[in-house]
Structure 1
Amino acid sequence: MPRKNKNSSRPGTVPAKARQGKRGLLRRHLDERLRALHQRAMLLERELVALDDNRFYRTCIFGSARIKPETPAYRDVYELARMLSWEGIDILTGGGPGLMEAANRGAKLGQEEKNTRSLSFGISIQLDTEPEPNKHIDINRHHHRFSSRLDDFMRLSHSVICTPGGVGTLLEFFFSWQLVQRKHMSERPIVLLGGEFWVDLIAWMKKKPLRDGLMDAPDFKYIHIVKTPEQAFEIISEHCREFHLANRKRSTKKKLPAR
């Protein structure tokens, strides 16, 4: 039987040149992916430096995702974030729609108007009702669990502003309050904007849990109920000034890069 030419292709095999061409395409694709991952890693590193830079004062603004732009509550939050941004204060929200969007929008406008170094943060979570973060965010940090998201809010912020909202906003309010109460984080103002929305809740807490000995009167010293964004601004900006004064008194040799 005659022997087959050893250089002839076997049935169903790919010629060597074709295999080399496919490998080349695959290598180029992987190189592009690696470059993209490297760029993403560099961006994340810059974001982490910004997040962990304790020279800059940050306040959380919590509130409902359901409130529309034409409402007074939306306008109040928008104006408050705008004024705080004028002072170089970073704004942290849940990154969603409604009052979160109002705060991030106001923060971005304040940056542009006064050319400040303030940043607009979104600490987001995947929800069916909030598929994508709003478009007014400089830095977004995404979480899969409410617990880690709440921890991030508390770790990164120096004060808390709660605006009208439902279960999520109340969770954020009480979580913040308990951590301050139990001294699991530094003392800070918890400002409740939208006076009438909060008055009955705080009155009930004084009438029932406090009167029944389940709370102490000093627990309420952190709570500030205000009606207007200007009143909230005064409380937060005063706390911000105290923060920067304490930072100046604290000598440090570590030099962090400027924003």
Structure 2
Amino acid sequence: MKEEGFPQEYGRARHFRVAIFGSARISEGHQIYRDVYELSRRIAAEGMDVVTGGGPGLMKAANAGHQAGRRNSRVHSIGLNIRLPHEQKANMHLDIKKEFERFTDRLNTFMELSHAVVVAPGGIGTALELFYTWQLVQVKGIDTIPVVLFGPMWADLISWVRKWPLGHGLMDEGDLNSIFMAGTVDDVMALLKQFQAAYLEGEPSMAREREDLQGG
């Protein structure tokens, strides 16, 4: 496992990379754990990196699934771990790990590394990651990153956003353009393949290496 700072080749220009946010509290017996594992396995098979918070729960599911599914050592399972007094130890499925003391530095590194974000079920930390990404896209603090809300728990949140912030003129309809809803692993993968294809169209060098990354 490589530790600490990221070499230049791990920046956003390297190849398509997906951040997966989700709860540290969900164990292997839950269906959503299995779904995130399968999603990340398929992400790896498509030649995409995965980036998580590097901890337990759905982060572990994503990192483990990625290592199980990759066909080439040039794709990576990356963990951005946060040092907390009561949690969290890094999981054992990371190719590259970086430790952080501050949440803001960690969140900014997610933004620097990721081309798309998948938000699985989670609590306050997951909601923070969602809204941090969304707000930076809104104010154009970063290039537009598509955000996929995975699972039924997010539908009520988007309904609230439409009713209150949007309904009362506190945001624009266009602020929802970067948000996508997905109910199944197939739905998420269909979106990620679209995002990857759009990205590759703007990066010819990436298109040339895609077959290698997929193991083709």
What is the TM-score of this pair, normalised by structure 2? Answer: 0.90
Q: Quick check: 1:55–1:247 contact (8 Å CA) kept in 2?
A: no
Which structure 1 residue ranges, 4+ long, deviate > 3 Å from structure 2?
Answer: 43-47
Unaligned 5+ segments in structure 2 are 207-211
* DSSP 3-state at the match of 2:177: helix
Match in the other structure for 2:175: 219
Cα deviation, residue 186, structure 1: 1.1
Match in the other structure for 2:144: 187
1:230 counterpart = 2:186: yes
Paired residue for 1:90, among 26, 31, 49? 49
* DSSP 3-state at the match of 1:115: coil
C-alpha distance in 2 between matches for 1:97 and 1:131: 7
What is the TM-score of this pair, normalised by structure 1? Answer: 0.76
Match in the other structure for 2:166: 210
* TM-aligned CA distance change 1:45 to 1:124, over 3 Å: closer
1:150 counterpart = 2:107: yes
Q: Quick check: 2:12–2:115 contact (8 Å CA) kept in 1?
A: no
Give the total of aligned pairs.
Answer: 208
Match in the other structure for 1:4: none
CA RMSD between the two structures: 2.2
Amino acid in structure 1 at the alignment position of 2:202: A
Paired residue for 2:38, among 68, 79, 96? 79
Cα deviation, residue 116, structure 1: 5.6
Cα deviation, residue 128, structure 1: 3.2
Cα deviation, residue 51, structure 1: 1.8
Higher helix share: 1
Q: Quick check: 2:56–2:88 contact (8 Å CA) kept in 1?
A: no
Q: Quick check: 2:11–2:112 contact (8 Å CA) kept in 1?
A: no
1:65 counterpart = 2:24: yes
Match in the other structure for 2:209: none
Larger Rg: 1
**Per-residue deviation, residues 203-235 of structure 1 (Å, max 9, x unmatched):** 011001101100101111111111101101111
**Per-residue deviation, residues 12-38 of structure 1 (Å, max 9, x unmatched):** xxxxxxxxxxxxxxxxxxxxxxxxxxx
**Per-residue deviation, residues 78-111 of structure 1 (Å, max 9, x unmatched):** 1110101001100000000000000000100011
C-alpha distance in 2 between matches for 1:102 and 1:78: 5
C-alpha distance in 1 between matches for 2:4 and 2:119: 30
Q: Quick check: 2:12–2:112 contact (8 Å CA) kept in 1?
A: no
Cα deviation, residue 53, structure 1: 6.2
1:105 counterpart = 2:64: yes
C-alpha distance in 2 between matches for 1:59 and 1:224: 14
> What are the equivalent positions in structure 2 for 1:1-259 lying under 5 Å apart?
47-52=6-11, 54-111=13-70, 114-115=71-72, 117-194=74-151, 196-248=152-204
Cα deviation, residue 182, structure 1: 0.9
C-alpha distance in 2 between matches for 1:50 and 1:184: 22
C-alpha distance in 2 between matches for 1:156 and 1:234: 21
C-alpha distance in 2 between matches for 1:116 and 1:44: 17
Cα deviation, residue 117, structure 1: 2.5
C-alpha distance in 1 between matches for 2:205 and 2:8: 22
Cα deviation, residue 47, structure 1: 4.4
